[in-house]
Amino acid sequence: MSKNVLITGANKSIGFETARQLGELGYRVWLGARDAGRGETAVATLRKLGHDARLIEISVENDSSVQAAAERVGQEDGKLDALVNNAGIPGAFIDPADQTVDDIRQVYEINVFGPIRVIQAFLPLLKASGAANVVNVSSELGSLGSLTDPGSEFYGVNSLGYNSSKTALNAVTVSFSKALASSGIRVNSADPGYTKTDFNGNTGYKTVEQAAKVIVQLVNATEGETGSFMNDQRRLPW
C-alpha cells in the first residue's frame, strides 16, 4: 500500500491544499473534517483530480470522534505514515486585558489539547508505520524568540490566547519528539506563514500553495530532524 496521511481541518484553506499536494505525491489522504458535508465536497474535488482521498469525520476537541477516526483508519489501513495536526482557531485578537478565559480555553481546546488527543489516539497506528512523521501546524506567533524581537514583523501582534496556544503546541512538539524518537516517529512544528485564508479574513500575503510547502516537506521527509520548528525558509527560534 502507498503511504497514507491524515490531515485535520482539511476541508479548506491550508489543510485542503496540503491534502491536494500530498495526493499529487501519491499519498492516500484521509481528509479530516468536522462537518461531513464540507468534507465530502473537498474529497470529491480531490478525487476528480485523480487522488486517493477518503473523508474522515474528526472534531479534534471530542474524544469519541477522535477515537472513532483512529479505529476506522486502523481497520482500513492498519497504520498511519503521517499525521498533520492542522485544525486550529484564532480566538479573539484583542487586548490581552479583555480576552476572556473562556475564549482562551476554547482556543487551547482546539490548538493544544486537540493535537495531543489526536497524537495519543493514533499512536499505535503511527508506531505500526515504523517511520512516521507528525507535523504540528504552528505559527511564528508562537515563537517567543520572534515575539520578543523588535525587528520581527510579528512583534506587535499580541494575541494572548492564540500566540500562547502555539507556544504551547511547540512545547508539545518537543515533548513528543523526545518520547517517540525510539519508535521511529519524528514530530516537528511547521509555520505556514501569514496566509490568505478565512482564518484572518483573507488578509494574509502568502498563498495556500506557498503555505503548504513546509508542511508537505516535513510529511514527506524520509530522514532528518525531529523536534524542530521550521518555515519554508529557515529554522525558527522557539
Give the nearest distance from C-beta 60 to ligand NAP in angstroms: 4
CB of 54 closer than 8 Å to CB of 40: no
Q: Of the two residues 175 and 202, which places its CB atom closer to ligand NAP in the complex?
A: 202
Residue of 12, 57, 158, 238 that binds ligand NAP (CB under 6 A): 12
Give the nearest distance from C-beta 77 to ligand NAP in angstroms: 20
Q: Of the two residues 86 and 146, which places its CB atom closer to ligand NAP in the complex?
A: 86
Residue 8 touches ligand NAP, criterion: CB under 6 A? yes
Residue 137 touches ligand NAP, criterion: CB under 6 A? yes
Catalytic residue among 166, 194, 206, 213: 166
Q: Of the two residues 198 and 223, which places its CB atom closer to ligand NAP in the complex?
A: 198
Side-chain half-sphere CA neighbours of 7 within 13 A: 30
Q: Shortest CA distance to 84 belongs to which of 106, 60, 67, 108?
A: 60
- The one segment of 68-76, 87-95, 152-160, 228-236 that binds ligand NAP by CB under 6 A: 87-95
CB-CB neighbours of 109 under 10 Å: 16
Residue 215 touches ligand NAP, criterion: CB under 6 A? no
Residue of 15, 91, 115, 161 that binds ligand NAP (CB under 6 A): 15
Note if 162 is an active site residue: yes
Question: Quick one: residue 13, left, alpha or beta (phi over 0 = left, psi -120 to 50 = alpha)?
Answer: left
Q: Return the beta strands (E) in 39-178 as ranges.
A: 53-57, 82-85, 132-137
Note if 155 is an active site residue: no
Please tell me whether residue 29 adopts helix, strand or coil conformation.
strand
Q: Residue 136's beta-bridge partner residues?
A: 85, 189
Q: Packing angle between helix 36-48 and helix 13-24, nearest 10 degrees?
A: 30
Q: Residue 85's beta-bridge partner residues?
A: 136
By annotation, the residues acting in catalysis are: 162, 166
What is the binding site for ligand NAP (CB under 6 A)? 8-9, 11-15, 34-35, 38, 59-61, 86-89, 110, 137, 139, 191-192, 194-195, 197-200, 204
